[in-house]
Chain A
């Protein structure tokens, strides 16, 4: 009996690539064929949608990085992260219109205003996220792994209702301040400044994060804590403070994403955070959770898939099915390649 049960564990892992990965490759091939046909049929639309997808992907990347940072250090899916992102959007609208009186058609004045709002929003969301960790996750550090996960769902619902109580059940709209003038226009494919600004804000934030994690002392502490909490505590790293710092960084990324989403899409509603957070989490899993470049890659891919699904004409399922498609990708990734595109082989798949 014992031999029966323990024997399949290894052979299954060895056999798996031959059958299952061929199914996975088949699915990827179908996807590529569909994209290729669309490219040939309507090349203009294809590239237009591609640019939209990259822009959306940038916003997703900022949120996905938050998931990946927290998962990397605590192995916790922080469900509340998406709702912190939603709060970031609401805070942005409040700061920008309330404090700085941001409105449409201001010209170059918006640059310092947006920058100041970005810093404020990042700071507030970072503090909110660190507070969540302190209140809800820290007391459960030694509990079974499912306990903080369940708590995270509770926190997510609480924050969602804080947004509801604060801004009401309707869409909160932001002034459409980013200019819609063209950056370039090649053969009918146009790229406007409002999309460009999203990329222009995302890239420095990502580079800053990479520098923080790879080059600074605090980043080294984060990586050490993620690898082995006991050993890093023995080496003199304050583990709890490092975890708090990680939540602060993750929250401020969510704040930046909230700003971009609020100013680019121009509407935020209290229940959008959870949905979008799940999509961003899918992106983090697709890229390989715990892996920073992977999260960015996965987010861009998810943004592209969403844009292609909603924007292409030939046999595209359309926006009614976006969530189904994204979650199907999540399930397929977890079944076929739990380690993600760039991740290492993790035990979760075994």
Chain B
């Protein structure tokens, strides 16, 4: 509170505390000196890294050069420098060991930065989308990254896309509406179990088939095609979100967080103990429900589209795509089809999320996030608006959970720990709360780290770091949650708006918003 008072009297010039003093000293230096120091530090850093790993040193040099080139004042100079850089890379690639894939990737990256400003808003996402869709074709041609090792395979890509979907869904609750949800894993679990119930042998005392692919008609259990089940899972989860939300959304901020955390702990326990709920086997307990039916479009649709839509994802694929001059000979695997389906689902999520953001409802969420009391005074129905935020966030979590269960062909109660909730929250925070592009980048990076990156990094550290005969021997994937903790802590302390912030959210986090309880008798009395 005392900080708030001083902050209002002098918003920027507060010179108390080590960090502020250091920042003020830095700002007082002339621009040339600042640039010189920064470049010097970067070169020193790159040289130091060069001794650990050559590629790492080159990488830092290239990134820092690109960064400084962009700051060059005149247009011809800047363009010339960029062209020179690319020519240099091409020469290096031809004459030396730099892999062609890195050169092409850097070229594409440079081309994207050259898209003129007014076309950037659609150009960059379309370019990223094209790169993502084509990824299965060139995944095995990619260079080996320093530290992180090989590029993720397509299966990891599906995992990343599913978690991006969940992060985008959580972003609606946390980023748009400002409600901290620590139990998002409950929605994930609901979606996964909904898919499992309707696409497996779980309820073997009944028999109901509806468009399932590759299932013997004599098998018991409920077997429905995946497409209606995805929608159903979304709706069931949204309904579940409303049921959780209605009694609890009256609570504010941290109380809501703790209640969602409670639900996030209860639901996995129900799943774990749900093999005899009054004698009824609902969830098959700790063994989980497995296998799930394969998704697919069925033979009729497949024939009509000339085999473009596969009849059955698991047994579909044998076609080989050849692009001679790029040396691409790729036989399409079922993972690729899962990957492209996940991209379509993610596109749907992103589209809905973008359309919601500036809709009437989305603006109401922003208003509630910034000042609940004022929003209520302006006639926004708090309960209904918050419930909608919850329901929409839950909807996408449910779809993602259902799709991931189908992809894994299994659902286990051990998948739904509290760590996953925090993991998804960490994606949203790292990327930038409220900014969908930031959330996508943060989620892709963290999901990759979780699935492959940490293990690769650990292997790299163990083989490359040695100080006087001492070698570390540790496995960072064991400490994954601690690493997320560090990420959360560092981001919240130093850049609370995330890596790619939404401008509005950044302003709120830096200036602070009116965040006092609605009927705070003590502070009202003190101010009066």
A residues apposed to B, CB below 8 Å: 1-2, 4-6, 9, 75-77, 136, 139-151, 153-158, 160-162, 164-165, 169, 227-231, 233, 239, 274, 278, 281, 285, 320-321, 323-324, 327-328, 330-331, 334-335, 338, 346-350
Which of B253, B272, B376, B485 is close to A149, meaning CB atoms less than 8 Å apart? B253
Which of A151, A230, A320 is close to B493, meaning CB atoms less than 8 Å apart? A151
Residue pair B258, A77 in contact (C-beta under 8 Å): yes
A139 to B259, alpha carbons, bound, how many Å? 27
Q: Kindly list chain A residues whose C-beta atoms are within 8 Å of the C-beta of B418.
A: 274
Residue pair B381, A320 in contact (C-beta under 8 Å): no
Which of B1, B248, B269, B478 is close to A324, meaning CB atoms less than 8 Å apart? B269
Whether, in the assembled complex, B377 has its beta carbon less than 8 Å from a beta carbon of chain A, the answer is yes
Residue pair A327, B266 in contact (C-beta under 8 Å): yes
Which of A136, A144, A158, A164 is close to B478, meaning CB atoms less than 8 Å apart? A164
Q: Which of B67-75, B393-401, B450-458, B513-521 contacts A (4 or more CB under 8 A)?
A: B513-521
Which of B254, B257, B272, B379 is close to A5, meaning CB atoms less than 8 Å apart? B379
Residue pair A347, B492 in contact (C-beta under 8 Å): no
Which of A141, A327, A348 is close to B265, meaning CB atoms less than 8 Å apart? A327
Whether, in the assembled complex, B251 has its beta carbon less than 8 Å from a beta carbon of chain A, the answer is yes
> A136-B493, A228-B522, A323-B266 in contact; A338/B254 too (CB < 8 A)?
no
Residue pair B180, A320 in contact (C-beta under 8 Å): no
Q: What's the nearest-Cβ distance from chain A to residue B210, in Å?
A: 34
Whether, in the assembled complex, B441 has its beta carbon less than 8 Å from a beta carbon of chain A, the answer is no
Q: What's the nearest-Cβ distance from chain A to residue B39, in Å?
A: 29
Residue pair A144, B517 in contact (C-beta under 8 Å): no
Residue pair B266, A144 in contact (C-beta under 8 Å): no
Whether, in the assembled complex, B358 has its beta carbon less than 8 Å from a beta carbon of chain A, the answer is no
Residue pair A334, B258 in contact (C-beta under 8 Å): yes
Minimum CB distance partner of A158 in chain B? B485
Q: What's the nearest-Cβ distance from chain A to residue B257, in Å?
A: 6
CB neighbors of A among B373-426 (8 A): 376-382, 418, 422, 425
Which of B258, B380, B492 is close to A154, meaning CB atoms less than 8 Å apart? B492
Residue pair A230, B1 in contact (C-beta under 8 Å): yes
Q: Which of B3-11, B100-108, B130-138, B193-201 contacts A (4 or more CB under 8 A)?
A: B3-11
Residue pair A160, B482 in contact (C-beta under 8 Å): yes
A335 to B255, alpha carbons, bound, how many Å? 10
CB neighbors of A among B259-295 (8 A): 259, 261-263, 265-266, 269-270, 272-273
8 smallest A-B Cβ distances: which pairs? A161-B482, A157-B485, A154-B488, A327-B262, A347-B517, A229-B1, A158-B485, A142-B3
Which of B262, B425, B478 is close to A330, meaning CB atoms less than 8 Å apart? B262
A-B contact pairs, 22 of them (CB 8 A): A2-B377, A5-B379, A5-B381, A6-B376, A6-B379, A136-B489, A147-B492, A147-B509, A150-B425, A150-B488, A153-B182, A169-B478, A227-B522, A228-B526, A320-B272, A323-B269, A324-B269, A334-B251, A335-B247, A335-B259, A338-B251, A349-B251
CB neighbors of A among B227-259 (8 A): 247-248, 250-255, 257-259
A146 to B181, alpha carbons, bound, how many Å? 11
A347 to B252, alpha carbons, bound, how many Å? 9
Q: Using a Cβ cutoff of 8 Å, how many contacts connect chains A and B? A: 178
Residue pair A324, B266 in contact (C-beta under 8 Å): yes
Q: Kindly list chain A residues whose C-beta atoms are within 8 Å of the C-beta of B483.
A: 161
A6 to B374, alpha carbons, bound, how many Å? 11
Q: What's the nearest-Cβ distance from chain A to residue B385, in Å?
A: 10
Which of B247, B484, B493 is close to A157, meaning CB atoms less than 8 Å apart? B484
Residue pair A149, B257 in contact (C-beta under 8 Å): yes
Residue pair B481, A161 in contact (C-beta under 8 Å): yes
Residue pair B489, A155 in contact (C-beta under 8 Å): yes
Q: Kindly list chain B residues whose C-beta atoms are within 8 Å of the C-beta of A75.
A: 254
Q: Kindly list chain B residues whose C-beta atoms are within 8 Å of the C-beta of A153.
A: 182, 422, 425, 485, 488
Minimum CB distance partner of A20 in chain B? B247
Whether, in the assembled complex, B429 has its beta carbon less than 8 Å from a beta carbon of chain A, the answer is yes
Q: Kindly list chain B residues whose C-beta atoms are within 8 Å of the C-beta of A233.
A: 1-2
Q: Kindly list chain A residues whose C-beta atoms are within 8 Å of the C-beta of B479.
A: 161, 164-165
A157 to B420, alpha carbons, bound, how many Å? 12
A144 to B254, alpha carbons, bound, how many Å? 11
Whether, in the assembled complex, B432 has its beta carbon less than 8 Å from a beta carbon of chain A, the answer is no
Minimum CB distance partner of A230 in chain B? B1
Q: What's the nearest-Cβ distance from chain B to residue A327, in Å?
A: 4
Residue pair B265, A334 in contact (C-beta under 8 Å): no
Task: Beyond the given A76-B254, A324-B269, please list 17 additional residue pairs across the A-B interface where CB-CB is below 8 A.
Answer: A136-B493, A139-B19, A149-B257, A151-B492, A156-B485, A157-B482, A157-B488, A160-B482, A230-B1, A231-B526, A233-B1, A321-B269, A327-B265, A330-B259, A338-B251, A346-B517, A347-B521
Which of B3, B379, B518 is close to A1, meaning CB atoms less than 8 Å apart? B379
Whether, in the assembled complex, B508 has its beta carbon less than 8 Å from a beta carbon of chain A, the answer is yes
Minimum CB distance partner of B521 in chain A? A347
Whether, in the assembled complex, B310 has its beta carbon less than 8 Å from a beta carbon of chain A, the answer is no
CB neighbors of A among B499-514 (8 A): 508-509, 512-513
Contact with A along B8-49 (1 / 0, CB 8 A): 000000000001000000000000000000000000000000
Which of B484, B488, B489, B509 is close to A143, meaning CB atoms less than 8 Å apart? B509
> A5-B381, A164-B479, A227-B522 in contact; A146/B180 too (CB < 8 A)?
yes
Which of B382, B493, B522 is close to A140, meaning CB atoms less than 8 Å apart? B493
A76 to B518, alpha carbons, bound, how many Å? 17
